[in-house]
Amino acid sequence: MNEKKLAKILKEGVKNNKIKTGYKEVSQYIKGTKLIVLSKTLTHEKEEKIKKSAEEGSISVISYSGNSVLLGRLCSLSYGVSVVSLKNVSDDEVKELMSS
């Protein structure tokens, strides 16, 4: 996975307020989401629930190798986030992230 490209997309999402962070918020607003990024600190149960919902909605899911603090930093946030969802990402960007 291209971490620089992911960071750019996440920062853009934060800047444009098109990002949802945290398990509860992502689960609640999963409709219309194009990409979900999971950190390795998300519990297995929660990860499975999100993956199931994503599969039903044909949403791409990326497992980020870092913990929630690193994922938060990648988004330019001052706190850790276990899961992030994006609505404003293009199909081409999703394909690029999934293939790399």
- What are the tens digits of pLDDT across the range 21-80? 999 999 999 988 999 999 999 999 999 999 999 999 999 999 999 999 999 999 999 999
CATH number for 8? 3.30.1330.30
The answer to the question of residue 99 being in a domain is no
The answer to the question of residue 18 being in a domain is yes
- Whether 1 shows a pLDDT value over 80: the answer reads no
Length of the chain: 100
The per-residue pLDDT for 62 is 94
pTM of the model: 0.92
The answer to the question of residue 97 being in a domain is no
CB 69 within 8 A of CB 42: no
The answer to the question of residue 100 being in a domain is no
The answer to the question of residue 28 being in a domain is yes
Residue 99: CB atoms within 10 A of its CB come to 8
Question: Which of 4, 8, 24 has the alpha carbon at shortest distance from 90?
Answer: 8
Which range of residues forms the domain containing residue 40? 3-91
- Whether 100 shows a pLDDT value over 70: the answer reads no
